[in-house]
Structure 1
Amino acid sequence: MPEVMTRKIVTSVEEIFHEGGPRANTPLKRGSVMAVIQNPYAGSYIQDIQPFMEDLKPLGVAMAQKLLAALGVEAAQIEGYGKGSIVGTGGELEHGALWHAPGGYAMRDVLGGSKAIVPSTKKVGAAGVRLDVPVTHVDASYVRSHFDSIEVGLNDSPRADEMAVILVMTTGARIHNRAGGLDAKEIEGKDGLR
């Protein structure tokens, strides 16, 4: 199996106090962590790419731990999450799909077994491309107040032979959410949906 070669890791945290309405007493924290890694499959078609998922697992756990630490909260305070990948132009979309399991299971593990599927997106793009990573509630995907996205990207990444793997987390609902739907207080938490 190829070794994961990391060129850089970037972590970002934002604190949102308001979106034009009343100022929140506690700001919403939204964070992302992106690792820019060499794509071992760039430049050629390889049939069996699944072994690389195993190699990505330790990176996923390390990234989830790093992001949780950057947000400065306990795992129980994380209410939203998501994941994504950007594949450089020498690769293919399927290479980005290799992040689904390592990224999702890493966050579930670090956060203590969240129930909801970790939403995901991926794309192929040149250096500087941006990606909107979807966010949903960690225990119930239908909690509308937590539907969100976090835009990520770097001016020099990914290069053609790289891919960027991304995790995002939030500490709560959108500031001033008032679009209705299932409330976080009403979660049953049995099926990951409600």
Structure 2
Amino acid sequence: MPDAFPLRRITLQIEEVHHEGGPPAATPHLKGAIMAVCANPFAGRYVEDLQPAMETLKPLALMLTDRLVAALGGREGIDAYGKGAMVGENGEAEHGAIWHVSGGYGMRERLGECRAIVPSAMKVAGVGGMLDIPLGHLNAAYVRSRFDSINIRIDDAPRANEVVFALAMAKGGRIHSRMGGLEIWQVKGEDGLR
């Protein structure tokens, strides 16, 4: 773990969605999130240049990616992703933005070809705060069936002077998705959009 961001705990969350009021799906929609609660070395003070911390967090992102992929049963079938951060008291939203490059890097490095932007959310939150992490298709942002989210929360985090860094992934689209748009079989994966 990066020495600058001492790790206090890791929490893993897996969800299986079998139906949304309609008939049960042949294969459940599987989505998960992994969260690392770390000390925030920037809490309580203004630091002009935060960008070097993005590189510092890359090993954490790789480790979290590996654990989440394993918890989801392996790489095959993972076709959506997202990331997020919650910054505790004495921190600022920009301390969560450090995760943009590192979190995205970890997933792209381990998942392979990923052309679409990694959807992201961050905020300053109190202990037990919640965050909806948006999900989107790995290679084609216009695949509406993969527009989804996963809600994360840790009872005792983020405490003051902490930050929660999170990654999220999914296998398959929303159950009973019927909003049209680009279908999964139409994905070309050339430009991150279609």
TM-score, normalised on structure 1?
0.97
2:106 is equivalent to residue 106 of structure 1: yes
Which range is displaced more, 36-45 or 104-113? 104-113
- The runs of at least 4 consecutive aligned structure 1 residues that moved more than 2 Å come to 1-4
Aligned to 1:25: 26
Which whole-Å deviations, capped at 9, do the CAs of 1:116-174 have from their partners, x for residues lacking one? 11000100011111000000001101100110010001111001100000000000100
2:58 is equivalent to residue 57 of structure 1: yes
Count of paired positions: 193
Please say if residues 29 and 175 of structure 2, whose CA atoms lie closer than 8 Å, have aligned partners that are also in contact: yes
- Aligned partners of 1:83 and 1:190: how far apart in 2? 22
* Cα displacement (A) at 1:51: 1.5
Please say if residues 126 and 157 of structure 1, whose CA atoms lie closer than 8 Å, have aligned partners that are also in contact: yes
Aligned to 2:160: 160
Please say if residues 113 and 139 of structure 2, whose CA atoms lie closer than 8 Å, have aligned partners that are also in contact: no
- Aligned partners of 1:47 and 1:19: how far apart in 2? 47
Paired letter, 2:155 = N
Q: Structure 1, unaligned stretches of length 5 or more?
A: none
Please say if residues 130 and 152 of structure 1, whose CA atoms lie closer than 8 Å, have aligned partners that are also in contact: yes
Paired letter, 2:34 = V
Paired letter, 2:160 = A
Q: Structure 2, unaligned stretches of length 5 or more?
A: none
Paired letter, 1:51 = P
Please say if residues 76 and 111 of structure 1, whose CA atoms lie closer than 8 Å, have aligned partners that are also in contact: no
Aligned to 2:13: 12
Which whole-Å deviations, capped at 9, do the CAs of 1:11-33 have from their partners, x for residues lacking one? 01111111111111211111000
SS at match of 1:82: strand
Which whole-Å deviations, capped at 9, do the CAs of 1:7-60 have from their partners, x for residues lacking one? 000001111111111111211111000000000000111112211111100000
Which whole-Å deviations, capped at 9, do the CAs of 1:65-107 have from their partners, x for residues lacking one? 100001113x231011000000012101111100000000110
- Aligned partners of 2:5 and 2:113: how far apart in 1? 26
SS at match of 1:66: helix
- Aligned partners of 2:3 and 2:107: how far apart in 1? 23
SS at match of 2:57: helix
- Aligned partners of 1:7 and 1:83: how far apart in 2? 19
Please say if residues 136 and 148 of structure 1, whose CA atoms lie closer than 8 Å, have aligned partners that are also in contact: yes
- Between the aligned residues of both structures, percent identity stands at 51
- Aligned partners of 2:161 and 2:113: how far apart in 1? 34
Please say if residues 13 and 32 of structure 1, whose CA atoms lie closer than 8 Å, have aligned partners that are also in contact: yes
Please say if residues 2 and 52 of structure 1, whose CA atoms lie closer than 8 Å, have aligned partners that are also in contact: no
Please say if residues 12 and 33 of structure 1, whose CA atoms lie closer than 8 Å, have aligned partners that are also in contact: yes
- Aligned partners of 2:15 and 2:37: how far apart in 1? 21
